[in-house]
Amino acid sequence: QVQLVESGGGVVQPGRSLRLSCAASGFTFGGYGVHWVRQAPGKGLEWVALISYDGSNKYYADSVKGRFTISRDNLKNTLYLQMNSLRAEDTAVYFCARGFQLERLDYWGQGTLVTVSS
Amino acid sequence: EIVMTQSPATLSVSPGDRATLSCRASQSVSTSLAWYQQKPGQAPRLLIYGTSTRATGIPARFSGSGSGTEFTLTISSLQSEDFAVYYCQQYYDWPPWTFGQGTKVEIK
């Protein structure tokens, strides 16, 4: 079965960096685009970034553009999110989600919590 | 950017009753609309895509309709496990892929 497992969250000071990982299994990872979506405490879902199946195309929300970098290693079946210059407003649960043909997000991980605080 | 607006913010429904959730897009998204269910402490789950197609394993009591800018998710007879927050999402024009702010379905 399709599984996505995020890791790497934690407490970080404003201005510092953090890298999230998402380990995929149960499907051909290299055949799908993958998204990062975040959810601030008590709030709704906010799309963060997408990387295409081969890593050749990357898209970002304006709120993270220039600070976050999405990448993937298809040999390791793993997605990454490098987060630099973190701000308090980046505090959220970060989910990775498989993208079906750049349309719906059909499978989601359980999320990893990032807290940006001094 | 296409803005998705859901209403109401909270819907109080008795078990066994019908629930009707609305989602409006700031411009036409054709039928490129998905619905997700999220329970507390859990990841979102895909319910509906293409406005009206149920995802794998989703019960028939969930149905979707609409086109253009107006969409509806209907739960025909609410079960205890259906009390959750529901989000709509458009994938017609991206980036960004945009979500509504959610509708919480609570027990009346």
Q: What are phi and psi of B3, to 5 degrees?
A: -95, 130
3-class DSSP state for residue A92?
Answer: strand
Query: What is residue B30's predicted lDDT score, i.e. its pLDDT?
Result: 96
Which residue ranges of chain A lie beneath pLDDT 70? none
Q: What are phi and psi of B53, to 5 degrees?
A: -90, 120
Which tokens go with B55? 């995802």
Q: Contact at 8 Å (CB) between A48 and A64?
A: yes
Query: What is residue B18's predicted lDDT score, i.e. its pLDDT?
Result: 97
The closest CB to that of B91, out of A62, A102, A108, belongs to A102
Query: What is residue B108's predicted lDDT score, i.e. its pLDDT?
Result: 87
CB distance B102–A110 less than 8 Å? no
CA distance B82 to B18: 11
CB distance B101–A44 less than 8 Å? yes
List residues of A whose CB lies inside 8 A of any B CB.
35, 37, 44-47, 50, 59-62, 95, 97, 100, 102-111
Distance to chain A for B43, nearest Cα, Å: 5
Q: Write the secondary structure of B63-105 as one string of H (helix), E (strand) and C (coil).
A: EEEEECCEEEEEECCCCHHHCCEEEEEECCCCCCCEECCCEEE
Q: How confident is the prediction for chain A on average, in pLDDT?
A: 97
3-class DSSP state for residue B31?
Answer: coil
At residue A112's C-alpha, the angle toward residues A106 and A114, to 5°, is 130
Task: With beta carbons under 8 A apart, name residues in chain B contacting A45.
Answer: 36, 38, 44, 87, 89, 99, 102
> Which residue in chain B has the smallest CA separation from A57?
B95
CB atoms under 10 Å from CB of A85, counted, come to 13
Which tokens go with A3? 């599984």
CA distance B69 to A7: 37
Which residue ranges of chain B lie beneath pLDDT 70? none
Query: What is residue B105's predicted lDDT score, i.e. its pLDDT?
Result: 97
Q: Contact at 8 Å (CB) between A6 and A22?
A: yes
